[in-house]
């Protein structure tokens, strides 16, 4: 496949209230999770990042309401997005959007090391008529490679902006199912702990005192001898938020190779985390949409093994 130089891509970010006073390079790397802080600084030094139309230094601290413009230079990439026909179920579709039930092992967007076999490649195959000026097509949010569940894709720019606004304003109800290590005695709880990139390992996230606010609520659904099944509702949507928060309180997600423990009582194929429920407003004043998807077979199989000889409390 031939390579071509794509045109420059312009990204516009509106600074939200909990980013007020945060360094610009950090805001960019936190929002654009595929971009490192050092690369953001390079763009700023070359004048490719503007705040309200003016170039600023990497240490500049943003204010609520600022408009951040980022011009990404052309890069050599494969000629167009290659289509890949993947068995990814669509559980809802209308003229404005569709919702996938993403299986584990599928990366959301193409990235270094994942140029093929992503959700976006599959979208190009099944809906080749979608036209967007970037490699993410109309994908509104993302899930980690090994997290399964609901993910929303807009089919036009008007719908994309409408949906993005709901995500940014925290109006979307997002619930996950997770199995975590050890028994949680409380019936419910809240983790309110700021998250940012781990200062000692840029590939990880961590609870950091001056990080971006992050809030997760959990309810115990079922207890086993050495683990707890929980329903988690997140107010914010930080990178790896659930995995970081549950590890922070001493109950890491079972099967999590980055933040969890190596051993568990039964084999676990991947991190036990599933995006089970979404509620958001449809474009065009059509009211709310609620969607729910059950645990996939690989995770249900783990629970079935735990149920044997480990009855609920």
Say yes or no to pLDDT of 118 above 80. Answer: yes
127 contacts: CB under 8 Å, gap ≥ 6: 98, 155
The CA distance from 205 to 125, in Å, is: 33
- Which pLDDT score, from 0 to 100, does residue 310 have? 46
194-230 pLDDT, tens digit each: 998 888 887 789 999 888 899 999 999 999 999 999 9
**pLDDT bucket at 127, cuts 50 / 70 / 90:** confident
CA dihedral 119, 121, 127, 130 (to 10 degrees): 100
Q: In the numeric block, which tokens belong to residue 209? A: 């005192």
Q: What is the pLDDT of residue 99?
A: 96
H or E, element range at 25: helix 24-31
**Is residue 268 over pLDDT 60?**
yes
- 261 φ, ψ (degrees, to nearest 5): -110, 155
pTM for the structure as a whole:
0.75
Give me the pLDDT at residue 76, please.
41
189: three-class secondary structure by DSSP: strand
Neighbours of 281 (CB within 10 A): 16
Higher pLDDT, 78 or 154: 154
Would you state the structure tokens that stand for residue 219, as one six-digit string? 């309810």
Query: Is 144 or 232 the better-scoring residue by pLDDT?
Result: 232
> How would you list the strands of the sheet with 9-14, edge to edge?
9-14, 67-72, 49-51, 54-55
Q: What is the per-residue pLDDT for 139?
A: 84
**All domains of the chain in start order, with CATH:** 3-76 (3.10.290.10), 80-168 (3.30.2350.10), 173-307 (3.30.2350.10)
Q: What is the mean pLDDT of residues 137-159?
A: 89
CB 264 within 8 A of CB 254: yes
Catalytic site residue 144?
yes
Residue 239 predicted with pLDDT over 50:
yes
Q: What is the pLDDT of residue 27?
A: 83
Name, in order, each residue with C-beta under 8 angstroms of 64's C-beta and a sequence gap of 6 or more.
15, 16, 17, 19, 20
Q: CA–CA separation, 131 vs 114, rounded Å?
A: 22
Residue 72 C-alpha from the chain's centroid: 22
- CA nearest 46: which of 35, 33, 58, 36? 58
Tell me whether residue 7 is exposed, middle or buried, using C-beta atoms within 10 angstroms of its C-beta: 0 to 12, 13 to 18, 19 or more.
exposed
Share the mean pLDDT of the chain: 85
For the purposes of burial, counting CB atoms within 10 Å of the CB of 246, is it exposed (0-12), middle (13-18) or buried (19 or more)? buried
At a CB cut-off of 8 Å and minimum separation 6, what does 42 contact? none
pLDDT value, residue 6: 43
Residues 51/68, Cβ–Cβ less than 8 Å: yes
Q: How is residue 30 written in tokens? A: 């936190």
Q: Which of 30, 96, 144, 256 is catalytic?
A: 144
């Amino acid at each position: 496949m031939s390579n071509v130089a794509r045109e420059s891509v312009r990204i516009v970010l509106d600074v939200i209230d909990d980013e007020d006073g945060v360094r610009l390079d950090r805001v960019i790397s936190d929002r654009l999770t595929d971009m490192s802080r050092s690369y953001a600084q390079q763009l700023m030094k070359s004048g490719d990042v503007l705040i309200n139309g003016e170039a600023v230094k990497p240490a500049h601290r943003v204010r609520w309401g600022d408009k951040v413009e980022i011009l990404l230079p052309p890069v050599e990439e494969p000629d167009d997005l290659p289509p890949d026909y993947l068995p990814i179920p669509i559980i809802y579709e209308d003229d404005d959007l569709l919702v996938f039930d993403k299986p584990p092992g599928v990366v959301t967007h193409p990235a270094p090391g994942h140029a093929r076999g992503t959700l976006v490649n599959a979208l190009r195959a099944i809906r080749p008529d979608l036209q967007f000026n970037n490699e993410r097509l109309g994908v509104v949010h993302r899930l980690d490679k090994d997290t399964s569940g609901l993910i929303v894709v807009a089919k036009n720019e008007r719908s994309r902006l409408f949906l993005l606004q709901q995500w940014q304003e925290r109006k979307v109800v997002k619930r996950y199912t997770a199995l975590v290590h050890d028994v949680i005695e409380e019936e419910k709880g809240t983790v309110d702990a700021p998250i940012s990139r781990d200062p000692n390992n840029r590939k990880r996230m961590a609870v950091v005192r001056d990080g971006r606010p992050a809030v997760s609520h959990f309810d115990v659904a079922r207890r086993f001898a050495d683990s707890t099944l929980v329903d988690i509702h997140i107010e914010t949507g930080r990178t790896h938020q659930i995995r970081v928060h549950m590890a922070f309180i001493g109950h890491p997600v079972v099967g999590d190779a980055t933040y969890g423990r190596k051993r568990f009582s039964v084999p676990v194929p991947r991190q036990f985390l599933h995006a089970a429920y979404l509620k958001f407003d449809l474009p065009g004043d059509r009211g709310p949409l609620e969607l729910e998807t059950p645990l996939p077979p690989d995770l249900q199989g783990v629970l079935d093994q735990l149920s044997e000889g480990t009855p609920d409390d």
